[in-house]
Structure 1
Amino acid sequence: MEITDIETIPLAHSLPAGEGLGDARGFGHDRATTLLRLETDTGLVGWGEAFAPGPIATATIETLFRDDVLGMDPYDVESLADRSYTDPYHFGGSVFVQSAVSAIDLACWDIIGKSVEKPVYKLLGGTERSSLTPYASTMYFTETDRPIAEPMREAVEEGFTAAKIKIGSNLEEDVERVRTAREVLGDDAHLMVDINGNYRADQAIRTAKAIEEYDITWMEEPVPPENLSGYRELKHQVDIPIAAGEAHFGRFEFKRLVGERLVDIVQPNLARCGGLSEARKIATLASTENIGVRPHIWNSGVGLAAAIQFAASVSDYPNTRNVPEPMMVEFDRSVNPLRHEILADPFDPTGGSLDVPQAPGLGIDVDESAVERYRADR
């Protein structure tokens, strides 16, 4: 079996004026990503995603990878990440190269699963899970006035038993947002906070100590991703578990987070970290140092499917049935047609539990007519 065709498909969706997605760094008005479609001489089609702007992802794939991918056996996929670090030399560590590798890697795994008629998570090894716990990403900062409790009430009404909220604007507002979220969620639910790297270490420490009483499952990106000394300082002074990884890519960057024990949880994004092959190596690094793994998800339906397959395989080590800790996957609760409209059967995270797809490959059928509606290059 060999790959006979490769197509990059940039997608974009703009939010209405005044309805931007807000985090501590500001407001965004566009959702964009890049899909990859691979076709083989057997007629099998695989889908991948590069979490990168369409023009950059397309140029990277066309310039650096197209000639190698055409004619490639999808089963050779695990050598792709290694080759990306050495050929082209000096470029392999860049986020755009690793995003391109991610797209190709995911599409190849999709094809492999389809060729053996098994879902990808069964091929990855590790722990097999038939269901996961979805958590709502919600309580964004908004451009228009809206009661801060309202999004969390909606999540609870949908059946979510875990949620992550945005904080990081100032200490007083951080405490108010966390207090409100905990009151609405209840005492038994998992509550995470995300600062999006907007604080210095001293600011993050003050917030962590102020919200500690609200039983926070993890504090995400308390300082910028490049501020490794800041993570080190936080680890020595904060009792809340620290999570990071969405802005890191490739196992070598994650090795620093893991090897220096700068975080308690790593969060590879499957469309940026190097794909499933690299994510599996990252998970092995993490489990070797007894660090948790929870995928980051801010993707289209394809990247979401990949994250679900990966999460279903992540090792429980060293936990046993006597240490109940659910494998949680992120579900953004903002409007995003790139997540649900491009799938023939969209994921439904409501109700507190998510069944892992058992169909071959990534377990999804991509609605190519919907993909065409959101193409950014037409």
Structure 2
Amino acid sequence: MQVDSVAAIPLSFPLEDGRAFGHARGVMDTRSAMLVRVETTTGEVGYGEALAPPQTTATAVEEVLAPMVEGASPYEVETLTERTHQEAYNLGGGPILQSAVSAVDIALWDLIGKATGEPIYRLLGGQQTEAVTPYASTMYITEWGEDPAEPIERAVEEGFTAAKLKIGRSVEDDVERVATARELLGDDAHLMVDYNGNYRLKQAIQSANALEPYDLTWIEEPVPPEDYTGLRKLTDRVDVPVATGESHFGRFDYKRLIADHGVDIIQPDLGRAGGFSESRFLAKWATTENVAVYPHVWNGAVGVAAALQFAASLPSYPHNENVPEPLLFEFDRSQNPLRDELLDAPLDPTGGSLAVPQGPGLGVSVNEDAVERFRTE
């Protein structure tokens, strides 16, 4: 089995006027993704996805990665990251090329899974996993000034038992939003917050301390992702676990986070951190330092499916059945047809449980008509 062709497919969906949303650093008015479609000489097809500017990332796939992969076996996938650092060493660690590598890597693993008849999480060494616990990623900062209670009320109605909210505009606003969510979700729900790196160190400490009564499961990106010193100081000074990773790209970015215990939790995004191959490397490395791993997931349908397979492969080390810990999985609740309409059978996170596809590869079927509907040139 050899790769015959690699196609990069930029996707885009503009939101309605006045419906932009986002986080403390700003709002967005378009959902986008970049798919990679890899076909073998015998006609098998694998899909991957990057979470990055679609047109620019597509160019990186076409100009740098396609020549490396075409004619090769999909089983050579785990050499792809190293090859980019060797053969495109001026670009190998950059976010665009790393995101492009992620999409190609996912597609190649999808092909391997289809060739072997196994879901990817089993190929990665994961134990039999039927489902994960989804948490609603919600309460965004909106252009239209949405009442913060409304998205949490919807999440509760949909059966979510965990949620993550956007905060980071002021300590007072943080407390108001978290208090609202905790009251609506109840005392037993897992509750996380995401600052999107909008605070300096002392602001983040003040906020974390003010939120301590609300029993947060973790705080995410409290300071900018490039502020490694601030992350380390914050992790040492607050009791709530500190998480980051969505804006880090591969092993060299993660080196200081893991080796120096800069955070308690790393959050590789499968569409940015290097796909399955690099994320598996990061997860095993994190285990050696007793750092937890929960993937960041804010992707389209293929990216969500990839993250779900990765999450199902993660070990519970050092915990066993005596320390039960749910396998929490992020599921964005904002409008995104690139997530909801690209699969023949969309993933359903409602009801408090999200099934892990057991079919070969990613375990999902991509609707190619829908792909063409959202394709942009």
The TM-score, its normalising length taken from structure 1, stands at 0.98
Residue 2 of structure 2 is aligned to residue 2 of structure 1: yes
SS at 2:145's partner residue?
Answer: coil
Structure 1 residue 124 displacement after superposition: 0.2
Residue 220 of structure 2 is aligned to residue 200 of structure 1: no
**Matched residue type, 1:84:** T
* Structure-2 residue corresponding to 1:116: 116
The TM-score, its normalising length taken from structure 2, stands at 0.99
Query: 5 Å matches for 1:69-84?
Result: 69-84=69-84
Structure 1 residue 365 displacement after superposition: 0.4
* Structure-1 residue corresponding to 2:330: 330
Could you list the runs of 4 or more consecutive aligned residues of structure 1 that deviate by over 4 angstroms after TM superposition? none
Residue 142 of structure 2 is aligned to residue 167 of structure 1: no
Distance 2:126 2:114 in 1: 20
* Structure-2 residue corresponding to 1:226: 226
Structure-2 change in CA distance of 1:145 and 1:53 (3 Å): closer
* Structure-1 residue corresponding to 2:358: 358
SS at 1:9's partner residue?
Answer: strand
SS at 1:32's partner residue?
Answer: strand
Unaligned runs of 5+ in 1: none
Q: Would the aligned equivalents of 1:37 and 1:47 in 2 still touch at CA under 8 Å?
A: yes
Structure 1 residue 88 displacement after superposition: 1.1
**Matched residue type, 1:240:** V
Distance 1:54 1:319 in 2: 39
Deviates more, 1:60-69 or 1:207-216: 60-69
Q: Would the aligned equivalents of 1:305 and 1:364 in 2 still touch at CA under 8 Å?
A: yes
Q: Would the aligned equivalents of 1:127 and 1:316 in 2 still touch at CA under 8 Å?
A: no
Unaligned runs of 5+ in 2: none
Structure 1 residue 313 displacement after superposition: 0.5
Structure 1 residue 126 displacement after superposition: 3.7
Matched-pair identity in %: 56
**Matched residue type, 1:283:** A
Distance 1:339 1:317 in 2: 31
Distance 1:79 1:340 in 2: 32
Distance 2:296 2:102 in 1: 14
* Structure-2 residue corresponding to 1:188: 188
Residue deviations 1:59-87 (CA, integer Å, cap 9, x gap): 11122122111101001100111111111
* Structure-2 residue corresponding to 1:50: 50
* Structure-2 residue corresponding to 1:313: 313
**Matched residue type, 1:197:** G
SS at 2:33's partner residue?
Answer: strand
Distance 1:376 1:118 in 2: 33
Residue deviations 1:199-218 (CA, integer Å, cap 9, x gap): 00100000000001100000
Distance 2:151 2:61 in 1: 39
**Matched residue type, 1:208:** A
Residue deviations 1:293-321 (CA, integer Å, cap 9, x gap): 00001111000000000000001100001
Structure 1 residue 90 displacement after superposition: 2.4
Distance 1:288 1:226 in 2: 23
Q: Would the aligned equivalents of 1:295 and 1:311 in 2 still touch at CA under 8 Å?
A: yes
Q: Would the aligned equivalents of 2:5 and 2:66 in 1 still touch at CA under 8 Å?
A: no
Distance 2:187 2:374 in 1: 41
SS at 2:345's partner residue?
Answer: coil
CA RMSD of aligned residues (A): 0.9
Q: Would the aligned equivalents of 1:340 and 1:346 in 2 still touch at CA under 8 Å?
A: yes
Distance 1:251 1:68 in 2: 21
Distance 1:152 1:54 in 2: 31
Q: Would the aligned equivalents of 1:255 and 1:285 in 2 still touch at CA under 8 Å?
A: no
* Structure-2 residue corresponding to 1:28: 28
Distance 1:49 1:22 in 2: 21
* Structure-2 residue corresponding to 1:267: 267
* Structure-2 residue corresponding to 1:148: 148
* Structure-2 residue corresponding to 1:255: 255
Q: Would the aligned equivalents of 2:191 and 2:217 in 1 still touch at CA under 8 Å?
A: yes
Structure 1 residue 144 displacement after superposition: 1.7
Distance 1:246 1:30 in 2: 19
**Matched residue type, 2:55:** P
Q: Would the aligned equivalents of 2:7 and 2:62 in 1 still touch at CA under 8 Å?
A: no
Distance 2:146 2:31 in 1: 22
Residue deviations 1:11-59 (CA, integer Å, cap 9, x gap): 0111111111121011111111100000001211000012121221121
Distance 2:128 2:191 in 1: 25
Distance 1:148 1:52 in 2: 28
* Structure-2 residue corresponding to 1:242: 242
* Structure-1 residue corresponding to 2:98: 98
